[in-house]
Structure 1
Amino acid sequence: MEDILKDVHIEGGTVTNVQFVTDGCFTLPDGRIISDLPAFCRVVVNLKPTPQSDINIEVWLPQEIWNGKFLGTGNGGGAGFINYTPLAFGIRRGYATANTDLGTSPNANTLIGQPERWADFGHRATHEMTVAAKEIIQVFYERSASYSYFIGCSTGGQQALMEAQRYPSDYNGIIAGAPANNRTHLHTGFLWNYKAMNPTPGSTILTKEQIDFITHKVVRQYQGKDGGAPGDNFLTDPRKCNFDPETIPNCNGGDYNNGLTSEQLSALKQIYAGPTNPRTGERIYTPLPYGSENCAGGLELQQDPEKLPQSLLYMFKWVFGADFDYTRFDFDRDLDTLNEILAPILNANNPDLNEMKKFGGKILMYTGLSDPLVPYQDALHYYERVIQDQGGLAQTQEFFRFFLVPGMGHCGGGPGLNDIGLGVFQSVVQDSEYDVFTALVEWVEHGKAPDKIIGTAFKDSFAPNGISFQRPIYPYPKLPEYVSGDPNLPSSYQGVDHERGGVLTPAKRYLV
C-alpha cells in the first residue's frame, strides 16, 4: 500500500511521505506528542497548481475505524504550517481528515512579490487539498467518501466560506467559525487599532491592568440587562451596550491601573469608533466589540509593537513591500490599492450561496460575542446579506444557520461559553444537542436542522478542570435569556428573538 500511495496520480502534486502510525502516538515536527490516536496512515503531499505555488497538505487515514466519510479542516492566522490539532480531532471520530499549510510556508511574511501564492492562501490551496485528499481516499479505501465535511475557524472560517462560495460541490456540510472572510478590511481594522495605540511605537500602550479595568467597567454596567444572568462577567448581546468611554476615570496624575490618560482615552475612542475613510467618512470595517477588550487577541496584542506587525500585518507587506511603514498608511488611497490587488482573491464576501443550496449543502456558522480578533458584527452583517439575497430568513435557514455564542472569545476560550463540541479534549457529549459537528452531520444526513445547541463553559477554558456552567445557544436572531433558577443550568434560559442587524455597517465598496 505504501508504494501504491507514493505513486498515486495527483495533478500538479507529489506524494513526499507515507507513514503508518500504529502505536497511538504521533510526534509533531516541534517534538510535541499527540496521543490517544487510532491507527492511521499519514500521507504528505506537495501541490503546485502553478509554478510559483508550494502547497503542503497532509491526509490522515484511519486504518480500522474509518466511518466512510471525509473531513477537510482549516488553518489559522497566516498559516505556513500544518495544523495537526484538527487532524487528530477528525481521525478520532473516524474521518479521513486533511489539512493544508495554505502555501505560505515558512510564514506569510515571506510571500512578498508572489501573487500566485496569495491566491493559494485566499482560496486555491483549500480546494486543491480537497481534490487531492479525495483521490487519496479512493486509492487507500478503494471507494470514495460517502459524505464530505469541512470545519474551520478564523482563517479556517474564511476557507469555509470560500469553499461555499467558489467550490460549492466540494463539501456536503460546512462549519464556519469566526470567519475572517472580509479579509482585507479585517486587517485594516487591526492596523487602525494599532495606529490608534501607537502614533509612535509604544506611545499610548495600555497596561494589562488597564485593559482589565476597561472590560470590567463595560460588563458591570450592562451585565444582566442584555438577556444574560445578573452575575455574568460577559455580555450576552453587546449590541445593547452603549458604553461611554468618558466614564473611565482620568489618571493623568496618578492611579494608572484604574483609569486612562487623556491620550489613552482618545485612542480607545478611536478603537470603539472603528476604521473609517478619512476623506469620505465611509465606514471601512466594524469596531472592536464591547466586552472583548481583555480577551486573548484583544487590546494587549493589537497594541504590541513587537507582536502585531509580525503576526497580523503580512498582507500589507505583500502589497507595499518588506519595508512597509504603518505610520504612513493612508486609509483612503492605500486601502484602495490594497483592495484592488488582494480583495478579489482573499475576501469571501459574496452572499450568493445558491449553488451550495442547490447542491444540497448545509452551513453552520458561529462566532463568539467576546471575540476581539474577528468581531462578531462582521459575520452578522454577512449573514444579513445572505438573508437579503435568499429573500428572507426562513429561506436562508433551510440550508444556512448562524449561532452567536455569548462570552466566547476567538474560536473558543473567553469568559463565557468556550466549547460547542470542537474543543481539543472532546469533553462534551458527542450528540446533536451539545456538539455542533454532530448537529451538522444530523442535518446533512438525516434532515434534522439544529434549533438549539447547549454550549459549555469549562473552568479556565480547560476541559479537564470540569464544567463551570452550560447555556443554550440558538439560530440567529435568537439569543438565550435568563428566566429563573440556577444560572449555571441550561434549563434556566429560553431562546428569545433579539433585533435583527443592529451593527455598524461598512460602506458597500468595503464589502467586496
Structure 2
Amino acid sequence: MKRQILALATVGVTVAGAAAIYALVDRSNDSAAAPSNANAFNCSTFQIPAPTGATVESLTATAVPAGTFQVPGTPPLGGYPVPDVPAHCEVTVTVTHPGANDHAKVQVWLPESGWNGRFQAVGGAAYAAGNIGSVAAAVKQGYAVGTTDAGVDTSGLNSSWALNPDGRINTALLENFSSRSVHELAVVGKQVVNDVYGHAASYAYWNGCSTGGRQGYMEAQKYPTDFNGINADAPAINWNQFEVATLWPQVVMNQAHTYPTTCEFNAFNQAAVKACDPQDGVADGLISDPSHCNFDPRSLIGTKVACDGKEYTISEAVTEVVRKIWDGPRDGNGRRLWYGLPIGADFSNLTASTTGPDGVTVGAPFPVPAQWVANFVEKQPAFDTASLTYAQFDQIFHQARSEFDSAIGTADPNLSAFRDAGGKIITWQGDADQLIPTAGTVDYRNRVDAQLGGTAEVDDFYRVFLAPGVAHCALTGSNDMTALTAWVEHGQAPDVLRADLTNATGQTVSRDICRLPFVSHYNGDGDPASPASFRCVAPTP
C-alpha cells in the first residue's frame, strides 16, 4: 500500500470505497547534519518532563526488531501491513491534564540505525488525531517520527467522545483534538529523540493531510516555534464553514425532492471537463484552472444518459440541483456562506442517497460533517442531517461558527510569529477535492496575503500548490517533503512540485504542479504526458 495514507480527515473515504486518509511521508533519504554521537542509542525506560499543564502518566520504551508491521484496526486507517520496517525503538508516553480525566497517548518510533537527524510528526484523519501506519512508513525513510491519539477514538469515524454523560461538550477532549495534543506531541517527541539518541534533532517537521493538514496550520497559528517546516495538505482549515458546507448538497436535494443518479452526476462532470479542458492549450483530460471554468449545467437539459441498463433524461430539476451544489451554500438573502463542490470533483461522497422498499429516496449524509453537526453543534447524536431545510442549514452554519470557531476554526491569517521564527509551509491540494472545497484554502491564503503584506512577501515562507484533477489527499508521486526540507535547510524555495496526475481517461502523467496563483499551460508542442510540455502562467482574468 503506497504511503499516501489518505486522510479521512474529512475522510476522503467514500464510505463505499474507502477513498482517502492521509498522512504523507518523505521520499527523501538525504540526511540532516549528522551529529558527532550519531551511534548513541538508548532504548530503555527514562523520565521526561511533562508538557506545561500536563502530567506524564506512563512511559514505556521497547526495542523492536526489523520486520513487517501490521497496522491495527480496519481499513482505510488500519488493517494493512507495512513491510520492511527497520529495527527501532518504540516509546509510548501517556499524558493527562488535571481535572480532565483524559489520557492522550504519544507514540514515537526511532530507527536504531540510519537516522537522518530529523524529527517528523504525522497527523490524523477525520476524527482521528494521528495514524500509526504513517509512523511505520516514515520511520522507513530514516525519521524519528511520532503521532498522538489525543485521547480520542482512533478509528477516524467515531466522534462519540464529543459529549460528556450529561450531554455537554467534553471541552478537554475537544481541546486535545483541536490543538493541545499536537503541541504536546512536538514537545514530548523532541524530548524522546534527545533521550534516545543523546542529542536533539537537527530539524522538526510536521506532515499531514486533511485533518492532518488542519493540525499543521493550527501549529503555525498557535505554536509557531514547534516545527521548522510544515507540510499541510488539503487542510481542514476554516473548519466550521467547510464541515457544515459539505452538508449543502444534501440540503439542496432534500428541498428539491430530487436525488440525481450517479450516472446523471457523472454526465455533468464529463461535460464540464470536455468544455473546460482545452482552456490550458491541450485536451488532455485535465482542467488546469477550474476556477475559470464557466460551464453552464443548463446546457445538458434534455440530454439522455445511459448506465446499468437504464436511460435517464437530464431534467431541469436535476440541473438546478447540480447548479446549486457547484455554486455552494447561500443564505436566505442570496449571500454566499461558503464555497461549493469544485467543478470536476466527484459528487458521490456528498450526494449519497438510499431508496427504500417503498420507493422513497432519502439522503445519506457524509459521516464526518453529519457527526459534527449532530454531536457538537446540536448535541443530539441522533439528529437527522438528511432532512435539513435551508433555514435550518443557515442557523446551524452560524451556530457552529459562533460556538466553535475559537476552539477549532483554524482560520487565523496572522502567521507573522511563524514567519519570524523562520518556519516554512507547503500546502498542496487537488483542484478536484470532493471533500474540502479548494477555494477555501485559496481564500485563507488570500487573507494571509492581506494580513502580511502581499503575495510576494508571503511567498517567502508559505506556498500553495493546486493539482489539476486530483481528489482529496490523493496526489501521488509528490516530492513535497523533499521540497520542504530543501527550503528549510538550504533556502531553496520551490516554484513547482513534481507529481503524477491521472487524467479523465485513466492515464497517469507526470506534471509540475504550479504554485498559486499560477496555473499550468501547454507550450504548444511536445508530449502532453511530459512535464516539459507545460509552463506555469498567470491565470486568465
* Matching residue of 1:318: 376
* Matching residue of 1:505: none
SS of aligned partner of 1:339: helix
Alignment of structure 1 residues 473-488 onto 2, 5 Å: 473-483=513-523, 484-488=525-529
Does the aligned pair in 2 maintain the 1:486–1:492 contact within 8 Å? Answer: yes
* Matching residue of 2:512: 472
SS of aligned partner of 1:35: strand
Q: Distance in 1 between matches of 2:311 and 2:368?
A: 27
Does the aligned pair in 1 maintain the 2:305–2:311 contact within 8 Å? Answer: no
Does the aligned pair in 2 maintain the 1:54–1:117 contact within 8 Å? Answer: no
Query: Deviation at 1:299?
Result: 3.9
Q: Distance in 2 between matches of 1:459 and 1:163?
A: 34
Query: Deviation at 1:332?
Result: 3.4
1:344-382 Cα offsets, whole Å, 9 max, x none, are 111111111110111001111111111111111111111
Runs of 4+ in 1 over 6 A off after TM superposition: 251-256, 301-306, 458-462
SS of aligned partner of 1:224: helix
Q: Distance in 2 between matches of 1:84 and 1:228?
A: 43
Counterparts in 2 of 1:453 and 1:3: CA distance versus 1, 3 Å: closer
Alignment of structure 1 residues 42-61 onto 2, 5 Å: 42-49=90-97, 51-61=100-110
Identity of aligned residues (%): 29
Q: Distance in 2 between matches of 1:130 and 1:65?
A: 22
Q: Distance in 2 between matches of 1:236 and 1:253?
A: 26
* Matching residue of 2:217: 161
Stretch of structure 1 that moved more, 48-57 or 472-481: 48-57
- Aligned counterpart in structure 2 of residue 457 of structure 1, from 467, 490, 501: 501
1:151-197 Cα offsets, whole Å, 9 max, x none, are 11111111111111100000000111111101101111112112222
Q: Which has the higher contact order (CA 8 A, sep 6+)?
A: 2
Stretch of structure 1 that moved more, 140-149 or 84-93: 84-93
* Matching residue of 1:14: 57
Alignment of structure 1 residues 420-431 onto 2, 5 Å: 420-421=477-478
Query: Deviation at 1:116?
Result: 2.0
Q: Distance in 2 between matches of 1:374 and 1:182?
A: 10
Counterparts in 2 of 1:410 and 1:72: CA distance versus 1, 3 Å: same
- Aligned counterpart in structure 2 of residue 96 of structure 1, from 133, 144, 163: 144
Does the aligned pair in 2 maintain the 1:39–1:62 contact within 8 Å? Answer: yes
Which TM-score applies when normalising by structure 1? 0.85
* Matching residue of 1:23: 66
* Matching residue of 1:424: none
Query: Deviation at 1:245?
Result: 1.6
- Aligned counterpart in structure 2 of residue 357 of structure 1, from 413, 419, 425: 419
Query: Deviation at 1:293?
Result: 2.8
- Aligned counterpart in structure 2 of residue 37 of structure 1, from 76, 85, 94: 85
Counterparts in 2 of 1:285 and 1:103: CA distance versus 1, 3 Å: farther
* Matching residue of 2:531: 490
Counterparts in 2 of 1:310 and 1:455: CA distance versus 1, 3 Å: closer
Q: Distance in 2 between matches of 1:253 and 1:174?
A: 45
SS of aligned partner of 1:481: strand
Counterpart residue identity of residue 315, structure 1? W
Q: Distance in 1 between matches of 2:44 and 2:346?
A: 53
1:109-166 Cα offsets, whole Å, 9 max, x none, are 3312312212222111211111111121121111111100111111111111111110
- Aligned counterpart in structure 1 of residue 487 of structure 2, from 438, 443, 447: 443
* Matching residue of 1:373: 435
Query: Deviation at 1:298?
Result: 5.3
Counterpart residue identity of residue 498, structure 2? I
> Given the alignment of the two structures, is residue 86 of structure 1 paired with residue 145 of structure 2, yes or no?
no
- Aligned counterpart in structure 1 of residue 268 of structure 2, from 195, 205, 214: 214
Q: Distance in 1 between matches of 2:365 and 2:381?
A: 15
Gaps of 5+ in 1: 413-417, 422-434, 503-512
Q: Distance in 2 between matches of 1:292 and 1:95?
A: 34
Q: Which has the higher helix share?
A: 1
Counterparts in 2 of 1:276 and 1:460: CA distance versus 1, 3 Å: closer
* Matching residue of 2:358: none
Query: Deviation at 1:46?
Result: 2.6
Q: Distance in 1 between matches of 2:327 and 2:260?
A: 18
Does the aligned pair in 2 maintain the 1:480–1:494 contact within 8 Å? Answer: yes
Does the aligned pair in 1 maintain the 2:350–2:365 contact within 8 Å? Answer: no
Counterpart residue identity of residue 384, structure 2? D
Which TM-score applies when normalising by structure 2? 0.80
Does the aligned pair in 2 maintain the 1:370–1:410 contact within 8 Å? Answer: yes
* Matching residue of 2:13: none
Gaps of 5+ in 2: 1-41, 74-78, 164-168, 356-360
Query: Deviation at 1:273?
Result: 2.0
Alignment of structure 1 residues 35-184 onto 2, 5 Å: 35-49=83-97, 51-79=100-128, 82-105=130-153, 107-112=158-163, 113-184=169-240
Q: Distance in 2 between matches of 1:90 and 1:301?
A: 38
Counterpart residue identity of residue 46, structure 1? T
Query: Deviation at 1:472?
Result: 1.2
SS of aligned partner of 1:364: strand
- Aligned counterpart in structure 1 of residue 342 of structure 2, from 289, 293, 304: 289
1:263-314 Cα offsets, whole Å, 9 max, x none, are 4333222212211122x433211111111135x7454489996863533322
Does the aligned pair in 1 maintain the 2:217–2:232 contact within 8 Å? Answer: yes
Counterpart residue identity of residue 396, structure 1? V
